[in-house]
Amino acid sequence: MEEVTPGQLIDDRNVGGHSWKQRRRLMFSVVAFSMACIAWALYQDTDSTVHQTAVTMGFTTLISITGTYVFGAVWSDRR
């Protein structure tokens, strides 16, 4: 019988075909994009509703992507 490592168990249970490495890469890409949008809106230093909406949606995206990532990891571990 082959010895199975914990990493292989996670990859074997992955039905959708996406590994955690790919998920982390996507999450970090979305986080970087959101932070860039926030930085751009703050750097412009105008008080328009477009910039306010960009900052609000950037923070909303950061909160939701973090919550989804944590919830997905917990859910995957319990399956």
Q: Is residue 12 part of a domain?
A: no
Domain that holds residue 28: 19-78
Structural domains of the chain, count = 1
Q: State pTM to two decimals.
A: 0.65
Q: Is residue 1 part of a domain?
A: no
pLDDT tens digits, one per residue of 53-64:
999 999 999 999
Q: Is residue 53 part of a domain?
A: yes
Q: Is residue 36 part of a domain?
A: yes
Q: Is the pLDDT of residue 11 over 60?
A: no
For every residue of 6-70, DSSP letters joined together read HHHHHHHH--SS--HHHHHHHHHHHHHHHHHHHHHHHHHT---HHHHHHHHHHHHHHHHHHHHHH
Q: Is residue 29 part of a domain?
A: yes
Q: Is residue 7 part of a domain?
A: no
Query: E strand or H helix at 11, and its extent?
Result: helix 6-13
What is the Cα–Cα distance from 37 to 28, expressed in whole angstroms? 14
Longest dimension (CA), the chain: 66
